[in-house]
Structure 1
Amino acid sequence: MQSARFIGSEIYRTSTYGPWHPLRVPRVSTVMDLSRALGWLPQDVYLNSPRAKPAALHVWHTPEYIAALQKAEATRSVSQPDRETFHIGTPANPVFPEMYRRPATAAGGSLLAGELLRDGGVIYNPAGGTHHGMPGHAGGFCYLNDPVLAMLSLRRNGVTRIAYVDIDAHHPDGVARGFHGDPDCLMISVHEDGLWPRTGALEDRAGGSAINLPVPQGLNDDEMAYIRDALILPQVDRFKPDAIVLQCGADAVEEDPQSHLSLSNQAHWSIVRALMGMAPRYLVLGGGGYNPWSVGRLWTGVWGILSGQTIPTHLPPEAEQVLRALTFDGNRRGKNPSAHWFTTLADRPRNGAIRDVVRQRVSVLTGQTTARRVFAK
């Protein structure tokens, strides 16, 4: 099998949603810089992401919406009717200089991944994972829905059965809509209960194609390991997918300012490792993540795992310099950064008791899926 490949772009280095938006922080550029400082990103595995053309986006997004995005970028303004119709020019989805080009580049990377995985392999597109985008409007910082576009690209390139696993703190409402009731798509989402967009209830099966696990605040590493072993891996194994798409949002770690979960980055890495080899095609995307140190370290570690590297216990000076150059103004976590944010990739495990509510919800889901399989026979 060909070596894992990394899709990136320099557009993420200079583009920002604005000085006070949660996505003002550098993320993909930090992963690229850290990976290069560690010697993990040689040119022969790095692919520059293409920018998706409007026609390629129309397989999911409406032409009217794509045209409105382009118009808003060109004029740096949004009319009131367009704001109300397309949900752009809002505090969550603001107008900024690259508001079409940046998401179209992330989407172009995910579309390309579907083509590159035709014959198998591993692709990492950390700029992807924008799972809230809807066909005709933006949502939750997501102007486009590149996971849906990636999965449609996989389908065009001969893939039938796709397992989509999402461990972002937020429920992937756009993906749930895109594959509602599709028997050849298994969607598993582990997300914080009650967090925006407040969808993905335990009983919500999205037409039979989804397994939603809302988890309580404070979710710890042992609880995520239990979810991994009792729910995620058995369901993926039974489904026998042709491809796995993992949305590895970094906002479920304890240091993230947008959620209330207590995971270490090692909890995410354990799922990345566990899903490797369970299908001949593996696409890993980014997603949420709003602390520049925690998201940069987590996603760099993801690339290390996918590319077969050993995670160092202490970063070399070149990598440490990348992390020390980051700032996080306007947030209390950035005022007193922990020392390990500069010197290591791996967090210490955040262990704890497996609470009854977690066991009960997993039991409900595994009981539902077992009952459906028996009935189907």
Structure 2
Amino acid sequence: MSYGWLDDDTTISTDLKTTKETPFYEPIVNNFETGGYNPSVSYHYNPDVTQYHYGVRHPMKPFRLMLTDHLVIAYKLYEQMDIYKPRRATKEELLEFHSDDYVKFLETVTPENATKLAQTLKKFNIGDDCPVFDGMYDYCQIYAGASLDASRKLISGMSDIAINWSGGLHHAKKHEPSGFCYVNDIVLSILDLLRVHPRVLYIDIDLHHGDGVQEAFYLTDRVMTVSFHKYNGEFFPGTGNHDETGLSKGKHFTLNVPLQDGIDDESYTRLFKSIMEPVIANFKPTAIVQQCGADSLGCDRLGCFNLNIKAHGECVKFIKSFGIPMLVVGGGGYTPRNVSRLWCYETGIMTNMKLNHKLPDELPFRNFFQPDYSLHPNLGDRLDNKNTKKYLENLKNQLLENLRYMKGAPSVAMQEIPPDLQNLTTDEEQAIIDKLNSESSYDEYLENERYWINEKDQARKHELVE
């Protein structure tokens, strides 16, 4: 019987030097069954995003992103990806979706002047869920900028899969924040992708309904939104029943999968695959945005599902297997140690790496992961599964019936030349063109010089080459 590098159940013991030199991951060999897909993966992370704080009692903890980054570094996954520190989103980029008065409000409001803006706070839905905190606008620019940078890498073909775990804030609306989300980086990224991609599929496996993204694209057939979430009519945000299917041109291009408490690994992954395969076959997306909210894991502070990390990752792995350009973002998740475990594991999935279930000894803040120090703690069986087989089967049949009305992928006439990817002015663009032309002329001059030097070197004796 043979054992792999990562199998800790072997009876063979190793010395300290061998243990230290053993890799933390093992490459997954792609064969015919897995399609042999080896994507180019980029990782977009600005460490400044972890410096912000919603408040002592608030469940959203941006430092979960620091823990995720430490895990990615400790497992040496950076060796398998292109790493980018993205710039912040500009005000003009935020205005591609959000209203001018709302963005101005985000720019100007601070904890110091908030008490003088009581009526404005009420207008913009500022409260316990979405408090005013120090550096709020900067925070929004950082995580939105990372998602936009990721979308640009997909558009240019520099990446097949682009990851931004700081993004995925899917509740934010055009005129107001909602559910811990101030700027909807997903909508901004999809708008960016739509300039060159005729059809974009949005998939949401957060515990909560992706209402902000659904609302933004409810009237169009160029974006299909699919959301798996808890729904009982009262659970936040109170939307997302299966009868919400879109309006006007967007009719039947919205698919909601309302679930009950306690759904387990097998039920969730089977339902996910049985729905997403026909969705992709019918809609034929040219780009996919996958929101990987970690609050759908078991044992989450605000959660009510029984999913383990491998089951959540299996959904992401299934979508990746289609080989379609993919933007992967974070989202909810309120038990930081499990959020970081999940997103590190899913980074391994994107890079075709099988990670050792035992966390590396050199990991900073390793005490956060006690007592087991494992990448895969047992998170299931905490709640009774209220999703009966009959309920899930009826739900699947209803959703597939809705999908039948789509009548295939919509065709899109892409006639306009999309705007410049970097938002350059005409003068800036012309300066770059002039510089490239100048460099091209100089290269041509050097090539001519090299040609005559080569001719002289190859001349026969007594043969003159001028």
Query: How much has 1:279 moved relative to structure 2?
Result: 4.6
Cα deviations by residue, 1:155-213 (Å, 9 ceiling, x for unpaired)? 12x11111100000000111011111211211110000132001011111122221001
2:335 is the alignment partner of 1:291: yes
Query: How much has 1:14 moved relative to structure 2?
Result: 2.1
What are the residue-to-residue correspondences of 1:15-54 with 2, within 5 Å? Answer: 15-24=52-61, 26-42=63-79, 45-54=82-91
Match of 1:113 among 150, 158, 176: 150
Q: Equivalent residue for 2:458? A: none
Q: Equivalent residue for 2:452? A: none
2:245 is the alignment partner of 1:205: yes
Query: How much has 1:49 moved relative to structure 2?
Result: 2.4
Q: Equivalent residue for 1:330? A: none
- How many percent of aligned residue pairs carry the same amino acid? 28
Distance 1:232 1:264, change over 3 A: same
Of residues 44-53 and 294-303 in structure 1, the stretch that sits farther from structure 2 once superposed is 44-53
Q: What number of residue pairs does the alignment pair up?
A: 359
2:288 is the alignment partner of 1:248: no
Of residues 353-362 and 23-32 in structure 1, the stretch that sits farther from structure 2 once superposed is 353-362
Any stretches of 5+ residues in structure 2 without a counterpart? Answer: 1-37, 411-466
2:371 is the alignment partner of 1:339: yes
Whichever of the two has the greater Rg, that structure is 2
What are the residue-to-residue correspondences of 1:106-255 with 2, within 5 Å? Answer: 106-118=143-155, 119=157, 121-156=160-195, 158-194=196-232, 195-207=235-247, 208=251, 209-255=253-299
Any stretches of 5+ residues in structure 1 without a counterpart? Answer: 327-336
Distance 2:350 2:256 in 1: 26
2:131 is the alignment partner of 1:94: yes
Q: Equivalent residue for 2:42? A: 5
Match of 1:355 among 374, 389, 404: 389
Q: Equivalent residue for 1:276? A: 320
Superposed CA RMSD: 2.2
The DSSP-based 3-state class of the residue aligned with 1:310 is strand
Cα deviations by residue, 1:54-105 (Å, 9 ceiling, x for unpaired)? 11110100111011011114855251121111122x1111111121111211
TM-score between the two structures when normalised by the length of structure 1: 0.90
Distance 2:366 2:286 in 1: 37
Match of 2:400 among 345, 366, 370: 366
Q: Equivalent residue for 2:429? A: none
2:340 is the alignment partner of 1:306: no
The DSSP-based 3-state class of the residue aligned with 1:165 is strand
Query: How much has 1:280 moved relative to structure 2?
Result: 3.1
Distance 2:81 2:165 in 1: 18
Q: Equivalent residue for 2:123? A: 85
Distance 1:39 1:76 in 2: 44
Whether the aligned pair in 2 keeps the contact of 1:34 and 1:322 (CA below 8 Å) is: no
The DSSP-based 3-state class of the residue aligned with 1:202 is coil
Distance 2:219 2:99 in 1: 21
Distance 1:142 1:256, change over 3 A: same
Query: How much has 1:244 moved relative to structure 2?
Result: 0.6
The one-letter code of the counterpart of 2:238 is R
Distance 1:74 1:108, change over 3 A: farther
